Chains A and B, each alone.
Chain A
Amino acid sequence: MDNSHVPQHNISTYAHNKKAIYATDNNGDYTIVASSGWDVEEEATRQALTELERLAADAFVRVLTGEMSPLYFHMYNRRMDLQVLAESTGLFKWRIRRHFRPRIFARLAARMLARYADALGLSTGDLGRLPPAGCSDD
């Protein structure tokens, strides 16, 4: 790629950062060009982020209606899925799935709650409830 063709699309998913791209100058010599992003990459990242947001929003509703425990929402809100949560906590998937049931979650021991809270980077208090404003990134 010619360095005049390195995209500088100021893409939203870079949040004002730049990535280093390798491209050739007029003499055909390779140099590093700081790029503000390619809209092709933005499309793909945005698609992935939208999917994660969709999963968190769905989970929010399912917790709100009492179908699932707050753990289910916090997992998706931290951009995890069952596999990642199982790996992060060292728990079997089937155990976590049980803890998605509100009545079982409500009876969990403090130690188990602390394990989830640690993996999700939350206080045990926050783990037990939905955030007031719905899903957020942070």
Chain B
Amino acid sequence: MTDSGYSHGHAAHCESGVMSLMMRHHGLQLSEAMAFGLSGALMFAYLPFVKLGGMPLIAYRRMPRAIIKGLQKNLGIKMKMQTFSRPAQGTDRLDALLAAGKVVGAQTSVFWLPYFPAEMRFHFNAHNLIVYGKQAGEYLISDPVFEAPVRCLAADLQKARFVKGVMAPKGLLYYPLSVPATIDYAAIIPGIIKKNARAMLKTPVPIAGIRGIRALARAIGRLGQQELRYAKLFLGHIVRMQEEIGTGGAGFRFIYASFLQEAGRLINNPRLAEASELMTAVGDQWREFALLLAKAIRGKKSQIIDFAALQAKLEDIAEAEAAVYRKLLAEL
């Protein structure tokens, strides 16, 4: 489906998907995996003191907007980003941009978008989508986590853009002001990858990067002291953050492996292809871990969950993932 020459694409994750589609619309071929990897957004964080819906924050990537900001910095893209204090202003601005033929990125809540099925509607305020037109009071929306374009009533989109709370979108709209025609990948790729690897290995805080994975492993080991219902919800929460929220599988580790492979070809570096294979193997381990968690949740009341085994599995993953970053740091 096209309007103003825009074409939709299916992506794993909203923010990297939006940036990939938007760059393509402006003539820069950038796959979702490249958008994700080049922004340096791969991460792990376990923040037990930040509670969302009664569960600690567990993230397999950097904060929302990190992909947009990382790409601006690393690729020299200039973005216009605008928030609004009044909903009506935000809607007027969006309509004016669309009337001018622009394709516009927007941050929204997930819960208040009616085209999401009820099963997927949770209170998450940092969803990203592209608005590419308006017809008869409905916005034409390219939501990259959906296979096909969708439509949304103007009043509903306004509600979703102006929810208040954690990571409130404040009606955020964004679009590129300038996009480089070509990018000297050989010059920038090694630095971006090494910086990300260093951030994963050498965090100053014990709750981010590899140390964050280990901290989560220890927290799982202690779950036996908690009420069983809470322990199971905690384990389910990990699976949701790793798989449900649109990570391309294994909490962005497969997307990153795809990025390493594509980057290796672009700059003709076989070390990156090797690292990609290792990262795929790490992703496979994360999937095995999710499977163990699902079995633990499913178990009958009388069944005892082997928290120590889950902890050990996650510690193995931390070690395997750290080895990939060490290799990247040593060989690039």
Question: When A34-B10, A38-B243, A40-B290 are in contact, do A22 and B112 touch as well, CB less than 8 Å?
Answer: no
B90-130 contacts to A, CB under 8 A, are: 111-112, 117-123
The distance in angstroms between the C-alpha atoms of A47 and B243, with both chains bound, is 14
Question: When A84-B165, A87-B164, A121-B159 are in contact, do A44 and B244 touch as well, CB less than 8 Å?
Answer: yes
Closest to A30 in B: B258
Closest to A24 in B: B280
Residue count of chain A within 8 Å CB distance of chain B: 45
Chain B positions near chain A (C-beta within 8 angstroms) = 10-12, 32-33, 51, 53-54, 111-112, 117-123, 145-147, 159, 163-166, 168, 232-233, 236-237, 239-240, 243-244, 246, 248-250, 254-255, 257-258, 261-262, 276-277, 280, 283-284, 287, 290-291, 293-294, 297-298
- Is A19 close to B, CB under 8 A? yes
A5-50 contacts to B, CB under 8 A, are: 6, 12-24, 28-30, 32, 34, 38-41, 43-45, 47-49
A17 touches B147 (CB 8 A): yes
Q: In the complex, what's the smallest C-beta–C-beta distance from A134 to chain B, in angstroms? A: 16
B249 touches A1 (CB 8 A): yes
A34, A79, A90: the one within 8 Å of B164 (CB): A90
B163 touches A40 (CB 8 A): no
Chain A positions near chain B (C-beta within 8 angstroms) = 1, 6, 12-24, 28-30, 32, 34, 38-41, 43-45, 47-49, 51, 78-81, 83-84, 87-90, 119, 121, 137-138
Q: In the complex, what's the smallest C-beta–C-beta distance from B190 to chain A, in angstroms? A: 20
The distance in angstroms between the C-alpha atoms of A49 and B291, with both chains bound, is 19
3 A-B pairs with least C-beta separation: A87-B165, A15-B117, A30-B258
B249 touches A13 (CB 8 A): no
Q: In the complex, what's the smallest C-beta–C-beta distance from A120 to chain B, in angstroms? A: 11
Closest to A6 in B: B249
B236, B243, B262: the one within 8 Å of A30 (CB): B262
Q: List 27 A-B contacts (CB under 8 A).
A: A1-B250, A1-B280, A6-B249, A13-B244, A14-B117, A17-B146, A19-B12, A20-B246, A21-B12, A21-B248, A24-B280, A29-B261, A30-B257, A32-B10, A40-B239, A43-B239, A43-B294, A43-B298, A44-B236, A44-B297, A47-B297, A48-B240, A49-B119, A79-B122, A81-B54, A84-B165, A90-B164
A-side contacts of B249, CB under 8 Å:
1, 6, 21-23
Closest to A35 in B: B249
Q: In the complex, what's the smallest C-beta–C-beta distance from B22 to chain A, in angstroms? A: 17
A-side contacts of B123, CB under 8 Å:
79-80, 84
A-side contacts of B145, CB under 8 Å:
19-20
The distance in angstroms between the C-alpha atoms of A79 and B277, with both chains bound, is 40
B-side contacts of A39, CB under 8 Å:
294
A-side contacts of B168, CB under 8 Å:
87
A48, A88, A90, A119: the one within 8 Å of B236 (CB): A48
A-side contacts of B280, CB under 8 Å:
1, 24
B122, B254, B291: the one within 8 Å of A22 (CB): B254
A19, A40, A45: the one within 8 Å of B246 (CB): A19
B119 touches A12 (CB 8 A): yes
